[in-house]
A = this chain, B = another copy of it.
């Protein structure tokens, strides 16, 4: 490639780093791509670093040593996260969302690319230091936010199934009892999906008593995998003695009053 202007290098650097969060690029990669000296790239990266921080896009980290290079960690500031969660509440309290039985219609929100993008970034920001190997979820509604969390952490997504599939080879299945309605449920995962002695983060859209999260921890024991973090979009206020500890949620749902048409939902403690 011909010599580039600094503007163009900065632009391309930001695009490449931003498209590949938490991935380490060597300086050599950029000296070759841009046909530029290492000192030039170092100066470029200093500008990229400042720009990312100035606009609250996240952190650019330079790692020294043989395996060194540069990586971009997308972090959402506490303020941006809080404003987003407040805005989400405003959308969710709309009484038109009430579904007979006391449920809230929210698939339009949890499948919306724009919203899912931010939820995934907020969740990834919470778990970025945990050195996890996988993001886990159980089908179906939590998949979009889990995928974006995995994208931002740059680790594989693993989707636990409700029934075992012949197309995925030998599977490990467990039965577990849901925490709230006390029904027996099954979850199952291909033996190949997880390496032993690894760590994972469980992400889901909703947590009531925590039966599913508890089931996931049990299932992961069979894979010698430790669940080191749990994040959900919405938890319910009751029961307050959840089956799992150490989880985070963005929103807390109190109750849905069908007759009065009132949805009681608020930012969770972390985002007030």
Contacts and interface: CB of A to CB of B under 8 A. Distances in A.
A219 to B, nearest CB: 16
Q: Tell me how many chains of this kind the complex includes.
A: 2
Contacts of A111: 147, 150, 156-159
Contact of A8 (B5, B50, B140): B50
A172 to B, nearest CB: 14
Contacts of A143: 140, 143-144, 147
A interface residue count range (under 10 / 10 to 19 / 20 to 34 / 35 or more)? 35 or more
Interface in A82-108: 99-101, 103, 105, 107-108
Chain A, interface SS category: helix
Nearest to A158: B111
B168 A107 contact: yes
Contact of A166 (B103, B139, B161): B103
A240 interface: no
A11 B14 contact: yes
Of A48, A103, A148, A151, most B-chain CB atoms within 10 Å: A151
Interface of A: 4-8, 10-15, 18-20, 47-48, 50-52, 54-55, 57, 99-101, 103, 105, 107-108, 111-114, 116-117, 139-140, 143-144, 147-148, 150-151, 154-159, 161, 166-169, 190, 192-193
